[in-house]
Amino acid sequence: MINEYQQKFMGASTKQGYDIATKSREIIRDLIDDEIEDLNIVEKDIIERIVHSSADPEYAKLVKISPNFVDEAIKSMKNNETLLTDINMVKAGITQYDGDVECYIKNDEVKKIAKDEQITRAAAAIKYAANEGFEGILVSGNAPTAVWQAMDLFYKGKINLKAIIGVPVGFVGAADCKNALSMSSIPNIITQGPKGGTPIAVACVNSLIQNLRL
């Protein structure tokens, strides 16, 4: 008798929700077990949850997790460091984290930086966060420019960045930024190619949050 829904397994808030989540996991394991057999238990959970959130087993092939990602991300999140999201839709999906979840894309100062420097608001928001003393993890489901900006600041020693969940979606620019990130020394998780997006980013975060509590 663990329950109250097996510690809110995959966000289940009712018995019915828990049963659906459990059955979904069984189906997913049948579909992708072979692809992920060499991963550790946390990495497997991340990928299963991504496939659950997208109903797209192809993600088992597309997700790449750097060897230092899980340890560094868990360490940062155990310290309740900030999760910085690129868009508010990603922020809206993260409801169970004990630390701050921030998104600055609509901040007036960010809009000014974007205009003055002729960069996207997503990139300007990363600069703004770095200036404000951000320390934690970037969670990007949408904007390659946010990931490029974060990498640039990281290599200049100007941002206290512990990991990047870098899964922006799109046919233009997304794959390139994720390739670059996966080759970097920053602890990272990416999806190869154009696919990715909000649910993928959120699934990764929520898997980590659940693992924090085990």
Residues with catalytic roles: 52
One-letter amino acid at 104 equals Y
CA atoms within 13 A on the CB side of 3: 6
Closer residue to its own copies (CB): 113 or 137: 113
Closest distance of CB 89 from its own copies, Å: 5
User: At its nearest, how many Å lie between its own copies and the CB of residue 48?
Assistant: 11
Contact 120, 114 (CB under 8 A): yes
Among 4, 7, 23, 79, binds its own copies (CB under 8 A): 23
Rounded least distance, CB 24 to its own copies, Å: 5
Q: Figure out which of the listed residues 34, 37, 67, 171 binds its own copies, where binding follows CB under 8 A.
A: 171
Residue 113 token pair: 């930086």
Residue in 35, 1, 42, 32 with CA at minimum distance from that of residue 189: 42
Q: Which of 133, 172, 185, 213 binds its own copies (CB under 8 A)?
A: 172
Minimal distance, residue 38 CB to its own copies, in Å: 24
Rank residues 21 and 138 by Cβ distance to its own copies and give the closer one: 21
At position 21, the amino acid (one-letter code) is: A
Among 13, 68, 79, 131, binds its own copies (CB under 8 A): 13
Residue 195 contacts its own copies per CB under 8 A: yes
Phi-psi region of 159 (alpha: psi -120 to 50; beta: other; left: phi over 0): beta
* 1, 86, 102, 104, 121 from 169: Cα distances, Å: 41, 12, 20, 20, 17
| Residue 193 found at the interface with its own copies (CB under 8 A) | yes
Question: CB burial class (10 A; 0-12, 13-18, 19+) of residue 15?
Answer: exposed
Q: Which of 53, 76, 82, 210 binds its own copies (CB under 8 A)?
A: 53
Helix axes 108-117, 121-131, angle to 10 degrees: 120
Q: Which positions touch its own copies (CB under 8 A)?
A: 13-14, 16-17, 20, 23-24, 27-28, 52-56, 88-89, 91-93, 95, 114, 118-121, 145, 169-174, 193-199, 202
